[in-house]
A and B are shown apart, each in its own frame.
Chain A
């Protein structure tokens, strides 16, 4: 009996992935106490395996998934979306992804007057982050950061594509960078405090408030460790059954209800 119910009524229980922005806005509702400004998503896999083989269909699916997440995030008002994948993205693929996102955003917002601009990027090399620590004026630094991230172009949604090298290896690269700066007498080791490192490491990527894991197991997959200190981590083990859109909505509702005590 239960099987019959599941087979015939399951599709009606879960909303279908929406094609228009007003549907997302209606599903999310207006009663959410708080929404994340930075949403992080760890995706199952891309089309590229660890040995470097490329599977076109899977890569295509991955691109489609990113475009979908971009649509939903922009509908909710999220400012930054970071996506973790298991292999780095080539610059040509990045351009192809940007084209795809532009195309799907236009479709999604066809009933609205204005289509938000979503720009996609990968992290710059770690060497460029040191100069930012020496800038004294914090408010100017934020404005300059926004301009710097996408080469001066204005955007509504900042999409960052991350890969495992941006996790532990980037921190090790950062130590080497600071070591070389110390040898050049630009800094001394005593200056290295938590806030110093935070300023440096947050230059390219802010802390996500909510992390959704689209994998069967709760695995952080080398998402940059420094940044997920206080991040709410949403994961559902039944990945094969529950659609991604449902998980997205559930994660937002769960996030709105959570209560951070910050140690107190």
Chain B
């Protein structure tokens, strides 16, 4: 890249940083094979070109200050592809993951933690070993996260989370019923049980190659307050200059998105518990995104004391005058401890260790 284009890029990034930078970007890297055929290098080389584009876009995102980048590297449905293509992808994954965790300047510079999302039991043994090593070597990195979805489908993720939570209930780690004002299995707890547990909510989801569907990628995460864009170029052709207008369009929506997340957060808080205690064990960024800011906590407490019932039908206004009942804050802390303990033990995912992003 010439000095001129590098300078222009730096100027553009500085300009973008005057507005809000998305915390979490999702990428469906579609069109590698078609691009490979278009430039007459074949499917296999198409995948390698796609990886190079990923490195570039990742570097750009890190430079801008994006915290989490989630990429759709391989779908469980992709196992249906011809064996030689699947083998190429496995080889690519092995070499590149090893490179990323051992030699990558980018990972070191930006403190990127590598996570591999998906049902890795479907992968060959050698790939699983490389994954385990990559995740282990980078698990202490807490300034940014790279989520490689390999092999992943959103339905498998939701099934895994459901099964995991139900096994927690079977083992009496968690309670499915409502106790006073708290309920263990709320929407935010289900969200914390997914593979993307350490990550802030998804802000932008981009799919290349002109297809207009999600193909089982991040269905839960992109369902609400997420800016989705379908781009009409193949993934290896995707550059910073194609990303730029997407970021600008996102910045136009950033304030309404933050606003509706806060409003949803108030509804969730009223459903779950009272957020009075700062020293909670499970203060992941998901919780932070849902929590009201410090100035608004005041009116939240006032709001809770004034309201008898919340927006959610789950919270009933039970009589709380019985002697010996703990305060709502006490129950809240117990519930958070239960959930946290569950996520660190029975619900633990070795390839997605929980980290508190800086």
Which residues of A are at the interface with B, using a C-beta cutoff of 8 A? 50, 164, 167-169, 171-172, 174-180, 182-183, 188-190, 192-194, 197-198, 217-223, 225-226, 228-234, 254, 258, 260, 262-264
Contact A168 B170, beta carbon cutoff 8 Å: no
Contact A175 B155, beta carbon cutoff 8 Å: no
Contact A219 B225, beta carbon cutoff 8 Å: yes
Interface pairs (13), CB distance under 8 Å: A168-B224, A171-B187, A180-B177, A217-B227, A218-B227, A219-B225, A219-B228, A221-B224, A226-B158, A229-B155, A232-B213, A233-B213, A263-B76
Chain B, 50-88, CB within 8 A of any chain A CB: 75-81
Interface size class on chain B is 35 or more
Contact B154 A232, beta carbon cutoff 8 Å: no
What would 17 more interface pairs be, CB under 8 Å, given A197-B155, A197-B162, A219-B228?
A168-B190, A172-B186, A175-B162, A175-B165, A176-B176, A176-B177, A177-B176, A179-B185, A183-B176, A192-B162, A197-B159, A220-B226, A221-B224, A222-B223, A226-B158, A262-B77, A263-B81
Contact B155 A198, beta carbon cutoff 8 Å: yes
Segment at the interface with A among B103-111, B214-222, B300-308: B214-222
Contact B223 A188, beta carbon cutoff 8 Å: no
Contact of B158 among A171, A183, A220, A233 (CB under 8 A): A171
Who on chain B is nearest to A227 by CB? B219
Contact B169 A182, beta carbon cutoff 8 Å: yes
Who on chain B is nearest to A178 by CB? B166
Say whether B167 faces chain A, with CB atoms less than 8 Å apart: yes
Say whether B253 faces chain A, with CB atoms less than 8 Å apart: yes
Who on chain A is nearest to B211 by CB? A258
Who on chain B is nearest to A192 by CB? B163
Which residues of B are at the interface with A, using a C-beta cutoff of 8 A? 75-81, 153-156, 158-159, 161-167, 169-170, 174, 176-177, 183, 185-187, 189-191, 211-216, 219-220, 222-230, 253, 263, 312
Who on chain A is nearest to B229 by CB? A218
> Chain B nearest CB: distance from A114 CB in Å?
35
Q: A178-B166, A189-B166 are in contact. Are A258 and B77 (CB under 8 A)?
A: no
Contact A182 B170, beta carbon cutoff 8 Å: yes
> Chain B nearest CB: distance from A40 CB in Å?
12
List residues of chain B with CB within 8 A of the CB of A218. 227-230
> Chain B nearest CB: distance from A197 CB in Å?
6
Who on chain B is nearest to A262 by CB? B77
Contact of B81 among A50, A198, A258, A264 (CB under 8 A): A264
List residues of chain A with CB within 8 A of the CB of B216. 229-230
Q: How long is the Cα–Cα vector from A176 to B211 in the complex, in angstroms?
A: 36
Q: A182-B169, A183-B170 are in contact. Are A220 and B162 (CB under 8 A)?
A: no
Q: How long is the Cα–Cα vector from A193 to B228 in the complex, in angstroms?
A: 29
Contact B224 A231, beta carbon cutoff 8 Å: no
Q: How long is the Cα–Cα vector from A232 to B207 in the complex, in angstroms?
A: 13
Q: How long is the Cα–Cα vector from A230 to B154 in the complex, in angstroms?
A: 11
Contact B154 A229, beta carbon cutoff 8 Å: yes
Who on chain B is nearest to A188 by CB? B170
Q: A197-B158, A220-B224 are in contact. Are A232 and B80 (CB under 8 A)?
A: no
List residues of chain A with CB within 8 A of the CB of B226. 219-220
> Chain B nearest CB: distance from A160 CB in Å?
17
Q: How long is the Cα–Cα vector from A218 to B226 in the complex, in angstroms?
A: 9
List residues of chain B with CB within 8 A of the CB of A188. 170
Who on chain B is nearest to A50 by CB? B263
Q: A189-B163, A189-B170, A231-B213 are in contact. Are A264 and B80 (CB under 8 A)?
A: yes
> Chain A nearest CB: distance from B346 CB in Å?
10
Q: How long is the Cα–Cα vector from A223 to B47 in the complex, in angstroms?
A: 33
Q: How long is the Cα–Cα vector from A182 to B191 in the complex, in angstroms?
A: 21
List residues of chain A with CB within 8 A of the CB of B176. 175-177, 179-180, 183
Q: A197-B158, A220-B226, A229-B216 are in contact. Are A175 and B166 (CB under 8 A)?
A: yes
Q: How long is the Cα–Cα vector from A189 to B346 in the complex, in angstroms?
A: 13
Q: A167-B224, A169-B187 are in contact. Are A183 and B169 (CB under 8 A)?
A: yes
List residues of chain B with CB within 8 A of the CB of A233. 212-214, 228, 230
Most buried by A among B81, B187, B189: B187
Who on chain A is nearest to B178 by CB? A176
> Chain B nearest CB: distance from A210 CB in Å?
10
Who on chain A is nearest to B85 by CB? A264
Q: How long is the Cα–Cα vector from A171 to B167 in the complex, in angstroms?
A: 16
Contact of A194 among B155, B191, B253, B312 (CB under 8 A): B155
> Chain A nearest CB: distance from B262 CB in Å?
11
Contact B162 A178, beta carbon cutoff 8 Å: yes
List residues of chain B with CB within 8 A of the CB of A194. 155-156, 159
> Chain B nearest CB: distance from A224 CB in Å?
8
List residues of chain A with CB within 8 A of the CB of B154. 225, 229
> Chain B nearest CB: distance from A24 CB in Å?
23
List residues of chain B with CB within 8 A of the CB of A229. 153-155, 214-216, 219
Who on chain A is nearest to B159 by CB? A194
Contact B159 A231, beta carbon cutoff 8 Å: no
List residues of chain A with CB within 8 A of the CB of B153. 229
> Chain A nearest CB: distance from B35 CB in Å?
15
Who on chain A is nearest to B312 by CB? A169
Q: How long is the Cα–Cα vector from A98 to B226 in the complex, in angstroms?
A: 33
